[in-house]
Amino acid sequence: MHKNIYLFFAEVKVYQALFKNEMRLVLSVLYSLGAFFLLDLTRLIFKSLLVALILTEQMQICFLDFEKS
Q: pLDDT tens, 2-39? A: 566 666 666 777 676 667 777 677 667 666 666 556 66
Whether residue 47 is found in the same domain as residue 29: no
Whether residue 42 is found in the same domain as residue 24: no
Whether residue 41 is found in the same domain as residue 65: yes
What is the tally of structural domains in the chain?
A: 2
Query: What are the distances in angstroms from CA 42 to CA 19, 30, 31, 65?
Result: 21, 14, 15, 35
Whether residue 26 is found in the same domain as residue 50: no
**pTM summary value:** 0.35
The band of 54, judged by pLDDT with boundaries at 50, 70 and 90, is confident
Residues 6 or more apart whose CB falls under 8 angstroms from that of 38 comprise 30
Whether residue 25 is found in the same domain as residue 41: no
Range of the domain at 66: 36-69
Residue 46: which of 34, 36, 38, 35 has the closest Cα?
38
